[in-house]
Amino acid sequence: MPHIFVENLSKSYPVAIKEPGIAGTITHFFRRTYRSIQAVENVSFEITPGEVVGFLGPNGAGKTTTLKMLTGLIHPSSGTVRVAGHIPFLRQEAFLQKITLVMGQKQQLIWDLPAIDSLKINAAVYNISDQEFSLRLRELTEMLNLQGKLTQPVRKLSLGERMKAELLAALLHRPQVLFLDEPTLGLDVNAQVAVRDFLRDYNQRYQATVLLTSHYMADITALCQRVLLIHQGKLMYDGSLDGLLERFAPYREVHVELAQPLSREKLKSYGDVQSLDGRAVCFMVQQEALTRTVSQILSELEVIDLEVKEPPIEEVIGKVFQAGVV
């Protein structure tokens, strides 16, 4: 049974239309007209227990609206949603005990108090006993490497420490389903790596289901084998990262360091020359021609070094969104 079941999920908002000028203002005041904005349209997918799934899309694509419907913060206009066996917008206590929502740009910890005080409040809200609270606090503190930090006022913590403390607060009740909206937003590289390592460890330890949105592709490639792409409210792709590359980028980058520089004219027979800087050349080669092209380069050119790379995932996803088609 899937932990998250979504079928034909849609959300539309009425937006008032106002003509410019005084006449438009008067008309708008007495006889208001509306147009409908479709934020999410007929989205369907399933996520099984223990899966970590990336949820990707440009700004305004409908990601956060979808997350809010999955957590029961807003009511869908139509469609069916079940999370951990519950209908989210009913906001039943048993449902709230099983989920958590972490938004990188929002905070639940009280700014001027030590984080431990906010954590004690969370424990009371979720009816966690003192003994269980101590056990979970110790375990999560060690996993997040926050020893000695929770007694400091939240405002005194670094951004990375604050994000870790927010994660601890969100996971204190040990939820089955994690909705993470930009959890590494604004963090430096080291803090991002620490948060990714923790999420991977938490998923493996508790088999938690994770739906993750992020603009940092390193988050997605490090944690997710499956991705959902949403664009203009519609689901464009649901499958593996590898499948995304094969489907939307059926080429590879061949980086070559030559013994001596050659002209672009002499090199173009080996593939599409993307860049040429002295002895360093980057070819774009179709997947089906890769083996033949690499053999030809090695046999016909004086090669010092050769490396085959997949195109950057950011570039592939960007092209998908620009095309707007699956």
pLDDT in tens, the chain (326 residues): 789 999 999 999 888 887 888 877 887 777 888 788 899 999 999 999 999 999 998 888 899 899 999 999 999 999 999 999 999 999 999 999 999 999 877 788 999 999 999 999 999 999 999 999 999 999 999 999 999 999 999 999 988 899 999 999 999 999 999 999 888 888 888 888 889 999 999 999 999 999 999 888 888 889 998 999 998 899 989 999 888 877 777 788 899 999 998 998 889 888 889 889 989 999 988 888 889 999 999 999 999 999 998 777 777 777 777 665 54
pTM equals 0.80
According to DSSP, residue 249 is labeled -
pLDDT at 207: 94
Among 210, 205, 149, 204, which Cα is nearest to 183's? Answer: 210
Residue 26 burial (CB count, 10 A): 11
CATH architecture of 250-309: 2-Layer Sandwich (3.30)
- Reference 5, options 36, 57, 49; nearest CA is 49
**pLDDT (0 to 100) of residue 323:** 62
Residue-range domain boundaries for the chain: 42-245, 250-309
Half-sphere exposure in the Cβ direction for 286 (13 Å, CA): 2
pLDDT at 104: 75
- What's the sign of the alpha-carbon dihedral 216, 68, 127, 94? negative
Question: Does the domain at residues 42-245 carry the CATH identifier 3.40.50.720?
Answer: no
